[in-house]
Amino acid sequence: MKKRSVVCGISSFLPENTLTNFDLEKIVDTSDEWITTRTGIKTRHVVGDSQYVHDISVKSAQTTLERAQITPEMIDCVLVATTTSEKRCPSSAARVQDMIGAKNAFAFDIQAACSGFIYGLAIADSFIKSETCKNILLIGADTLTLFTDWTDRSTCILFGDGAGSCIVRAPTEGDDRGIVTTKLYSDGSKHDLITIENSEKNCFRGYMTMRGQAVFKCGIENMYQAMVDVLEQTNMTFDDIDWIVPHQANKRIFDSMHKIKGIPIEKVILTIDHHANTSSASIPLALDEAINSGKVRQGDTVMLTALGAGIVWSAAIVKL
């Protein structure tokens, strides 16, 4: 039996404040009908004043530690996948390490946009397999609403804030649960499809800009190919997958993938209607909700896939 890095203690945290499509109708020239039919989004959570990536990360991490039954001292690495840290440096991971008292851990951020959580899984898996670490706290957290141009109706309707986390730990004898495989990709020639400019010299925050239709097409082609690649890599088919938990960018991406590529849509878990696009938090948020509702169970095999700015994309298969 292959030894795998075990994923446990999956949790998430959403900020209290919400912003509905009807609220957005009062800010920009849009409608609930347009947003719902074009994206599947109805509402989203947004951070409050002085609430940053490290704050929401800590909230999620505390639940993860309880669920995984490990103490902060047992963590030897803290990884935070994010593109929206409060500061360019120090990292959000270092802040989290201090705030939760993980005094034996090293810590760093992963900047892989919406693919950050899967990139984090791959990095954590390597640290576990090389026996560098035994217990890794992996967090995906983003506050894209702080980098949103609220006068741009083509982007400001898309994003929400949130955090999700898990422990990736060393395997125990006789346990076949864990990370089956991961695959990461990048195509920097498409770097201008999604950007947040660095405007710090001008003393203002850069805003998210996106060429939506081009990203939409990449979303279908690249995430589909990534899923096919990890299935081939493991001699599996979609029949062996219980659930597909994708990055939640637009409901229509998966409707189209079903129509064009024939992916089993009934296995796709979508929470975009009430989370919107929370970037690196979207997969653990969806996974946590699906586990809490009883839909996804221990022992299930889940396919994860994501695509974001870079562009960078990825897929992973995990037996929970």
Q: Please report how close the Cβ of residue 18 comes to ligand ACO at its closest, in angstroms.
A: 18
The nearer residue to ligand ACO, 76 or 152, going by C-beta atoms, is 152
The nearer residue to ligand ACO, 130 or 213, going by C-beta atoms, is 213
Q: Please report how close the Cβ of residue 287 comes to ligand ACO at its closest, in angstroms.
A: 17
283 binds ligand ACO (CB under 6 A): no
Q: Please report how close the Cβ of residue 249 comes to ligand ACO at its closest, in angstroms.
A: 3
194 binds ligand ACO (CB under 6 A): yes
Instruction: Pick from 135, 182, 250, 271 the residue near ligand ACO by CB under 6 A.
Output: 250
The nearer residue to ligand ACO, 64 or 84, going by C-beta atoms, is 84
Instruction: Pick from 129, 212, 229, 261 the residue near ligand ACO by CB under 6 A.
Output: 212
Q: Please report how close the Cβ of residue 231 comes to ligand ACO at its closest, in angstroms.
A: 22
Q: Please report how close the Cβ of residue 273 comes to ligand ACO at its closest, in angstroms.
A: 14
Q: Which of 114, 133, 156, 166 is catalytic?
A: 114
226 binds ligand ACO (CB under 6 A): no
38 binds ligand ACO (CB under 6 A): yes
Chain residue at closest Cβ approach to ligand ACO:
212
The nearer residue to ligand ACO, 249 or 303, going by C-beta atoms, is 249
Residue 296, classified by CB atoms within 10 Å of its CB into exposed (0-12), middle (13-18) or buried (19+), is buried
> Is 114 known to be catalytic?
yes
216 binds ligand ACO (CB under 6 A): yes
Measured between alpha carbons, how far is residue 117 from residues 9, 149, 208, 239, 305 in Å?
A: 15, 25, 20, 24, 10
Binding mask 136-165 toward ligand ACO (x if CB under 6 A, else -) reads -----------------xx--x--------
Peptide bond into 311 cis (omega under 30): yes
DSSP secondary structure letters along the chain: -----EEEEEEEE--S-EEEHHHHHTTSS--HHHHHHHH---EEE---TT--HHHHHHHHHHHHHHHHT--GGG--EEEEE-S--SSSSS-HHHHHHHHHT-TT-EEEEE--GGGHHHHHHHHHHHHHHTTS-SEEEEEEEEEGGGG--TT-HHHHTTB-EEEEEEEEE---TT---EEEEEEEEE-GGGTTSEEE---GGGTS---EEE-HHHHHHHHHHHHHHHHHHHHHHTT--GGG-SEEEE--S-HHHHHHHHHHH---GGGB---HHHH-B-GGGHHHHHHHHHHHTTSS-TT-EEEEEEEETTTEEEEEEEE-
Q: Please report how close the Cβ of residue 83 comes to ligand ACO at its closest, in angstroms.
A: 8
Count residues contacting ligand ACO (CB under 6 A)? Answer: 24
Question: Where along the sequence are the contacts to ligand ACO (CB under 6 A)?
Answer: 30, 34-35, 38-39, 113-114, 153-154, 157, 194, 210, 212-213, 215-216, 219, 249-250, 253, 277, 279, 307-308
Q: What positions carry a catalytic annotation?
A: 114, 247, 277
